[in-house]
């Protein structure tokens, strides 16, 4: 599926030029001409990347950047006019991923977009792999590594462990785990969770004192991990 880019830019000729080149490069493009419309467009149809002008009517690029960041990790590239001072530090604090100074070469814009998306893609991939002391849970290869050894683990056990370990120290009820790991259409009961936890414990017990699979009596389970 085509990656979607939202352009928020009040200068129509720049916006159209960006649209033309991005579409030619295979992106699907939506454009908004002011910050308010940009926020509406962002919420209605979340894009894969935002190109954001700084000087905009209604809501400026910084304010919009902050709004978007409060809701999403989507990559944001700021467009700044020559002469406008772009403060890199405050830009990064607002959560922008990169910036481009106008007038720009389209080649440069495309290169920056691809670079930022690659970086973002890697970050998203990284979340498929969790590492703790003596423990790696890798959902790309569906492997569990304990110490130096790969331990044979059925998919559901691994998914359950990954789910718990994705939110360390958060308590999940058995029903939450059934819904979130097995899915709503699963007809098992909460003992299924207990059985899987028991089997995981057999693989994990005594491996590290930095984390453990804990029973929270009367509630459910949590992956307890000590902070760094
Ligand atoms: Ca502008």
Alpha carbon of 11 to ligand 1 centroid (Å): 6
Q: How far is the CA of 55 from the centre of ligand 1 (A)?
A: 4
Residue 54 CA to ligand 1 centre (angstroms):
6
State which of 124, 149, 179 marks the end of a domain.
Answer: 124
The CA 27 to ligand 1 mean position distance, Å, reads: 22
CA of 26 relative to ligand 1 center, distance in Å: 25
Centroid of ligand 1 to alpha carbon of 62 (angstroms): 12
What's the gap between Cα 208 and its chain centre?
29
Residue 207 belongs to domain spanning: 128-225
The domain total for the chain is 2
pLDDT tens-digit map of 148-187:
899 999 999 999 999 999 889 999 999 889 888 887 566 6
Q: What is the pLDDT of residue 193?
A: 93
CATH number of the domain enclosing 202: 1.10.10.10
Distance from residue 103's CA to the centre of ligand 1 (Å): 12
Residues 100 and 49 sit within 8 Å (Cβ to Cβ): no
Averaged over 35-46, what is the pLDDT?
95
Q: Could you tell me what percent of the chain has a pLDDT over 90?
A: 62
Q: How far is the CA of 117 from the centre of ligand 1 (A)?
A: 24
Q: CATH number of the domain at 61, please.
A: 3.40.50.2300
Residues around the ion ligand 1 (C-beta < 5 A): 10, 53, 55
63 Cβ contact list (under 8 Å, min separation 6): 35
The model scores a pTM over 0.75: no
Same domain, 120 and 166: no
**Span 107-148, pLDDT tens digits:** 999 999 998 888 887 666 667 889 999 999 998 888 999 998
16 & 114 share domain: yes
**Does 140 lie in the same domain as 107?**
no
Dist. CA 80 → ligand 1 center (Å)? 8
């Amino acid at each position: 599926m085509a990656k979607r880019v939202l352009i928020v830019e009040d200068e129509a000729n720049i916006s159209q030029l960006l649209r033309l080149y991005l579409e030619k490069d295979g992106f699907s493009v939506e454009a908004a001409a002011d910050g308010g419309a940009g926020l509406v467009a962002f919420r209605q149809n979340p894009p894969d990347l935002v190109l954001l002008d700084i000087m905009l009517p209604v809501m400026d690029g910084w304010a919009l950047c902050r709004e978007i960041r409060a809701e999403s990790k989507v990559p944001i590239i700021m467009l700044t006019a020559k002469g406008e001072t772009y403060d890199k530090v405050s830009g990064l604090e607002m959560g922008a991923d990169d910036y481009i100074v106008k007038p720009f070469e389209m080649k440069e814009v495309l290169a920056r977009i691809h670079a930022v998306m690659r970086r973002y893609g890697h970050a998203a991939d990284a979340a498929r792999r969790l590492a703790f002391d003596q423990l790696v849970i890798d959902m790309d290869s569906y492997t569990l590594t304990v110490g130096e050894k790969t331990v044979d683990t059925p998919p559901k056990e691994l998914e359950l462990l990954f789910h718990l370990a994705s939110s360390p120290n958060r308590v999940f009820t058995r029903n939450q785990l059934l819904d979130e790991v097995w899915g709503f259409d699963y007809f098992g009961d909460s003992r299924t969770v207990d059985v899987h936890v028991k089997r995981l414990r057999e693989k994990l017990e005594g491996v590290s004192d930095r984390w453990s699979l804990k029973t929270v009596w009367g509630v459910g389970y949590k992956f307890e991990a000590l902070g760094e």
